[in-house]
Structure 1
């Protein structure tokens, strides 16, 4: 499966594996959104409603702090997007999902009005799998 996804660069101290990836459909939509809105970021909270959906914002529009963890950095560069796309998660949510690998995918539908993909008639979605730990 690794060949059909884009894995994020590792950001957590002491780890040497990616915890989050993008499907090709997510990469395609993110490049379109980047062209319209400039650099982007994701934040995955543990809140209600769309709390299980990753929210995509223009970079810096969502203020992160001590209660958030930088889970990965995506390189969407194709000569046009030199900045990495950050994927943040609330520390509380990470405590629940620390044993899973997350893949950001795209599905038809309308997610939260705060996420930049909402007007596109698509929404980002997390698909999770348990991580295989080295023995």
Structure 2
């Protein structure tokens, strides 16, 4: 059921922010839950700091120019079931998101936008 991996891409602003965060925090990962708060905002963590398991799906290993290793993008399986027909676009917007995500002190937050793809 989950062998089809939705496409995930980064805007230029998101890639720039990831390069800065990587320089400070080391290898990175994203996790996007289906929770009530910041549900459309992927949380950025040092790679491996957020524990993933059977309730999560690895959607992509994002290559970022200037970053040695890919940035894993995980999503809660329940959220994936809703968004599996979309192209996910990770962007950056002004404003504070979750205090748990690495970009919070920067005064910006990651945001997932989506575009429906063909059936």
**TM exceeds 0.5?**
yes
SS in 2 for 1:42: strand
Q: How many residues are treated as equivalent by the alignment?
A: 118
Give 1:4's aligned residue.
none
**Among residues 62, 69, 72, which one is paired with 1:74 in the alignment?**
62
Gaps in structure 1 of 5+ consecutive residues: 1-11
Gaps in structure 2 of 5+ consecutive residues: none
Q: TM-score if structure 1 supplies the norm length?
A: 0.82
Q: Give distance in 2, aligned partners of 1:55 and 1:116.
A: 8
Runs in 1 of length 4+ with deviation above 4 angstroms? none
Give 1:98's aligned residue.
84
Root-mean-square deviation over aligned CA pairs: 1.4
Q: TM-score if structure 2 supplies the norm length?
A: 0.93
User: Higher relative CO (CA 8 A, sep ≥ 6), structure 1 or 2?
Assistant: 2
Correspondences of 1:1-135 after superposition (within 5 Å): 13=3, 15=4, 19-78=7-66, 81-133=67-119
